[in-house]
Amino acid sequence: MSTMLEAIGLSKKFGGKPALKEVSFRLERGEIYGLLGHNGAGKSTSLGIILGMVEPDLGEVRIDGVSVQAKRSQALRKVGAIFEAPAFYDYMSGWDNLKILMSYSGGFDEKAAREVVERVGLVKRIGSKVRTYSHGMRQRLALAQSLLPEPELLLLDEPTDGLDPEGIKWFRDFILQLREERGMTVLFNSHLLSEVELMCDRVAILREGKRVFEGSVKSFRDDVPVYEVQLEPWEMCMPIVHELGGEIVGPGKISLPRGIDPAVFVERAIRAGAKVREFARIRRSLEDVYMEILNGEGSPN
């Protein structure tokens, strides 16, 4: 694998207030990477710096080895992006918008434009005025525009924001297919954790401008198992939790403390006179991990 994007020690202050503090991450070619965090955590600032639209106070971004800060247009040659609300001319058709956008950057290529329009499923409506487009159709047009430079790296700012469930699923399948067919590398930020979980290989979580977590979605799902046990009588729970740790998560239900061998826990519970009614390995979602980290319980890895 080779590195597609490197963000190295990015720091940025706005009016003396830090928005990013020494944030680094790296995307390998073909990776889908999610940038997560609460409102104001620094996600858009990171994307802005990567796109050369925001100047970092410190740090550098390299795309395929080329510095965005030193050689912006060369570095961004292989990049397609949807950043902030894409500005289209509402009184023109989707097609004419694409024509204009292409003419800004090297000239109109009808064949390439037809291909992207087909790819994003806008063929039937590409001749209609953008003012008549739904939010989902605008997003498709924005995606078409981001694909025009035949990018190897896509940067997407809240791409699923405001889409309906069908639109969200379409977007997910679309991105996964782009990666499958072209080895596309994708970096996006989102608040939709369930979607991020389905799409991303790795995620970084930012909190108040600092990167507080980076990890593979698969690893935190599989490597840090959480077990739940249902005991009877349920009154047994308190003394057992008191002795062995864990958390009561329902009547008679204990979430086992992390790191303890579940067999040891169950054996102790039985010895104490409890009956084990249910025992389950719980799959932790990205949301669980996100909440744990941002609520300050520390990193799971």
Minimum Å distance from CB 6 to ligand ATP?
A: 19
Q: Does 40 bind ligand ATP (CB under 6 A)?
A: yes
Closest CB to ligand ATP among residues 101, 200: 200
Minimum Å distance from CB 157 to ligand ATP?
A: 8
Dihedral angle, C-alpha 163, 168, 173, 179, nearest 10 °:
70
Site string for ligand ATP, 45-84 (x = CB under 6 A): x---------------------------------------
Q: Does 190 bind ligand ATP (CB under 6 A)?
A: no
Among the listed residues 89, 36, 75, the one whose alpha carbon sits nearest the alpha carbon of residue 214: 36
Minimum Å distance from CB 200 to ligand ATP?
A: 16
Among the listed residues 11, 19, 18, 50, the one whose alpha carbon sits nearest the alpha carbon of residue 188: 50
Residue 80 to residue 186: CA distance in whole angstroms: 10
Q: Does 159 bind ligand ATP (CB under 6 A)?
A: no
Closest CB to ligand ATP among residues 7, 19: 19
Radius of gyration of the chain (CA): 24
Minimum Å distance from CB 57 to ligand ATP?
A: 12
Q: Does 19 bind ligand ATP (CB under 6 A)?
A: yes
Q: Does 146 bind ligand ATP (CB under 6 A)?
A: no
Quote helix, strand, coil % in the chain, to nearest 5.
40, 30, 30
**Residue of 5, 31, 44, 193 that binds ligand ATP (CB under 6 A):** 44
Minimum Å distance from CB 247 to ligand ATP?
A: 30
Half-sphere exposure of 72 (CA within 13 A, CB side): 9
**Residue of 9, 14, 100, 164 that binds ligand ATP (CB under 6 A):** 14
Q: In sequence order, which ranges of the chain are alpha helices (DSSP H)?
A: 43-50, 72-75, 94-104, 110-119, 135-147, 165-182, 193-199, 217-222, 237-244, 262-271, 286-294
Choices 35-43, 219-227, 240-248, 291-299; region in contact with ligand ATP by CB under 6 A: 35-43
Handedness of CA 155, 159, 165, 167 (dihedral sign): negative
Residue 237 to residue 265: CA distance in whole angstroms: 12
Site string for ligand ATP, 101-120 (x = CB under 6 A): --------------------
Q: Which residues contact 143 (CB under 8 A, 6 or more apart)?
A: 82, 120, 159, 171, 174
Q: What are the residues binding ligand ATP (CB under 6 A)?
A: 14, 19, 37, 39-45
